[in-house]
Copies of this chain bind each other. A is one copy, B any other.
């Protein structure tokens, strides 16, 4: 049973799942949705979403939404999920942190800048933008401090936490964030890109 990824390819949340599949050598089938067709008033060439949103990983008749859960599913049972109980929970700690402190800032600002367009933001989005920029920079700073003394987020090997955090970090500059002041983050990005089986977000 080949897992089916229902996705919008430029989404970092969708890319996490493709990257986990590539790093674990798991074949997946991809089905694309044009999530922004409706927003831009263009004619839709494909549906914009699934009933459970995007991404969803389909496994036979069952569906797994939430990017970090689907990424975990593909990596469960491999070395990308630590066997040590503390490390396993610490991996999840970074994945929850990613969804609470990183994605709502770095991914949202990237989407607003690169897809919605700064001129098309509504008043509430415009009011939120400075706080999201600041919180995104704070997230990058915290990552840089953590990585200053270590190669990977958890223990001494790559884990699902690295996959989930890499997805939007390495394209943060598309949202106007600057990675130059974060050398440990940049070195870690290069390490992720050197992993056997790595594929870029454009693949």
A→B interface (CB under 8 Å): 59, 62, 64-70, 72-73, 76-77, 85-86, 88-90, 92-93, 95-97, 99-100, 103-104, 124, 127-128, 131
A67 to B100, CA, bound (A): 12
Known contacts: A99-B100, A124-B127, A127-B124. The answer to whether A92 contacts B69 by CB under 8 A is yes
Judging by beta carbons under 8 Å apart, are A76 and B62 in contact? no
A92 touches which of B59, B62, B66, B103 (Cβ 8 Å): B66
Nearest Cβ in chain B — how far from A166, in angstroms? 17
Known contacts: A124-B131, A128-B124, A131-B124. The answer to whether A65 contacts B86 by CB under 8 A is no
Judging by beta carbons under 8 Å apart, are B124 and A96 in contact? no
Which 7 pairs of residues, A with B, have the shortest CB-CB distance?
Answer: A73-B89, A69-B93, A66-B93, A69-B92, A66-B96, A69-B89, A99-B100
Q: Can you name 22 A-B residue pairings with CB atoms under 8 Å?
A: A59-B86, A62-B86, A64-B89, A65-B93, A66-B92, A66-B96, A68-B92, A69-B92, A69-B96, A70-B89, A72-B89, A73-B85, A76-B85, A92-B92, A95-B96, A96-B99, A99-B99, A100-B104, A104-B104, A124-B127, A127-B127, A128-B128
A97 closest partner in B (C-beta): B66
A127 to B76, CA, bound (A): 41
A46 to B69, CA, bound (A): 37
Q: Beyond the given A59-B86, A99-B99, please list 11 additional residue pairs across the A-B interface where CB-CB is below 8 A.
A: A68-B92, A69-B92, A69-B96, A70-B93, A72-B89, A73-B89, A96-B96, A100-B103, A104-B104, A124-B128, A127-B127
Judging by beta carbons under 8 Å apart, are B85 and A77 in contact? yes
Question: Chain B residues with Cβ under 8 A from A72's Cβ?
Answer: 89, 92
A72 to B93, CA, bound (A): 10
